[in-house]
Amino acid sequence: MPGEEHSTTAALPPPQTLRGTELRCPLRKATKRDPHPHPPMLPCPKWPPAPPPPPFCSRTRESPAPWRGAGRLQVGRARRGPALPARSGDKMSHRKFSAPRHGSLGFLPRKRSSRHRGKVKSFPKDDPSKPVHLTAFLGYKAGMTHIVREVDRPGSKVNKKEVVEAVTIVETPPMVIVGVVGYVETPRGLRSFKTIFAEHISDECKRRFYKNWHKSKKKAFTKYCKKWQDEEGKKQLEKDFNSMKKYCQVIRVMAHTQMRLLPLRQKKSHLMEIQVNGGTVAEKVDWAREKLEQQVPVSTVFGQDEMIDVIGVTKGKGYKGVTSRWHTKKLPRKTHRGLRKVACIGAWHPARVAFSVARAGQKGYHHRTEINKKIYKIGQGYQIKDGKLIKNNASTDYDLSDKSINPLGGFVHYGEVTNDFIMLKGCVVGTKKRVLTLRKSLLVQTKRRALEKIDLKFIDTTSKFGHGRFQTAEEKKSFMGPLKKDRIAKEEAA
């Protein structure tokens, strides 16, 4: 009738339920599931609303969505026992194993170092309350041996017990100070303000300023040294020292090693700037001025049981593959075209190889800084006392035998250590004969291992070429008896 909404609905049959609780209008178009056609018509608003979906059941995993069927179960894996509640992040992974990346990206690029000597990129923070002192030194790696000591660590299982530990011997002949450098602090960092060299500089230091010493005229510092002789030059030097005290905040000295004291072929010394810490700026400048052309032993820089940092260049290995260079896992034995490779070096797109993918290339000869190396012993070199050569620098309170730190036959590929040396716990970077930069620690040491007192009982001096059995040459001679070469020498002498 006119005035009633949807008057034709009074004669319609009741709604049909086709799929579970899903309601359909009987007047819709014919479909494959509903082949009985009806005239098209809008859904009737007078029909009763669809029943609410049943609550979600965790045991049967029944779907609450009406478009999936109210009574239909989701197809899934069969479970034994009660089913667990579903989690939002409970999705199947693409693989069932963990493969973290191999190698650190913090040391990229892994290429050959541009410098042979370790560079100090940060010196310890200055403390004016302490006396004036140097913060770094240069040494040369001689080799390794082992020691026996008693552990002083209450509460530990090895407390009051003897342990055997590997140590490295670093020969550290005295360094010579030949210059003073003053720096001023700017918003962009330190800037060198003034550099003053000593009057006399040795040839082994001058060689560092030449590419080819043999072909050069060897005239370095010939004009500069005249400043120290005439009155005008002395006034200028005095003015420079005073201006350095007035304007500079950081004072460093230039010191070089003495290659003539070492059993090395090289004649060109290693030169570096060493920061002077402690005291005021004026005290630092005065201290550096007094030490010009003087030798500084390592015992004045480091102390017994101190923790230091070792900076150097590692041993070179050449061009290596990914298995050796990055320690990636080898592929299975039957892999086609090699197994010491990375199976996938990246996706199709982006069509580039990422920098983080392990690739073959240079291994070794990298610049590295190793922190917290404990000093077990600071030994003295050979000395002449009462006309006799004293070599006894490896005996202890428990081992009273007269012997030097050198093993029988000397250190392999190095020779004999005749100068002052430092004994460090463990190994250090580089090969034998390589120069190492020793720096005071940047950290405040508070751990018990760092503060532990080292009491050496025994230092091994057997031959490092093979299986050594004798500590000294006298011990070997007494055990082996007279040799043929001894008899021949005795006959020739007679």
Q: Say whether pLDDT at 384 is over 70.
A: yes
Question: Nearest-CA neighbor of 459 among 407, 422, 418, 417?
Answer: 407
| Per-residue pLDDT, 93 | 56
Q: What is the largest CA-CA distance in the chain?
A: 152
In the block, tokens 């923790």 appear at 307
- The CATH superfamily of 133-317+366-487 is Translation factors (2.40.30.10)
For residues 28 and 273, the model is more confident at: 273
Going by pLDDT thresholds of 50, 70 and 90, the confidence category of residue 78 is very low
| Per-residue pLDDT, 405 | 96
| Per-residue pLDDT, 99 | 79
Classify the C-alpha dihedral 40-45-47-52 as positive or negative.
positive
Q: Say whether pLDDT at 69 is over 60.
A: no
- The domains of the chain are located at 1-47, 133-317+366-487
| Per-residue pLDDT, 494 | 84
> How far apart (Å, rounded) are the C-alpha atoms in residues 118 and 134?
17
Going by pLDDT thresholds of 50, 70 and 90, the confidence category of residue 22 is very low
For residues 34 and 110, the model is more confident at: 110
> How far apart (Å, rounded) are the C-alpha atoms in residues 145 and 456?
13
User: pLDDT above 70 covers what percent of the chain?
Assistant: 81
Average pLDDT estimate for 421-433: 98
DSSP E strands, 314-426: 318-320, 361-363, 367-379, 383-385, 388-390, 421-425
First to last CA, the chain: 152
Range from 2-16, 234-248, 283-297, 434-448 carrying the lowest mean pLDDT: 2-16
Range from 94-98, 299-303, 338-342, 415-419 carrying the lowest mean pLDDT: 94-98
| Per-residue pLDDT, 100 | 86
- The torsion region of residue 242 among left (phi > 0), alpha (psi -120 to 50) and beta comes to alpha
Average pLDDT estimate for 262-284: 97
Going by pLDDT thresholds of 50, 70 and 90, the confidence category of residue 30 is low
> How far apart (Å, rounded) are the C-alpha atoms in residues 194 and 186?
15
| Per-residue pLDDT, 72 | 46
Q: Say whether pLDDT at 82 is over 90.
A: no
Residues 6+ apart with CB under 8 A from 33: 18
pTM over cut 0.95: no
Average pLDDT estimate for 207-215: 96
Q: DSSP class of residue 66?
A: G
> How far apart (Å, rounded) are the C-alpha atoms in residues 165 and 374?
12
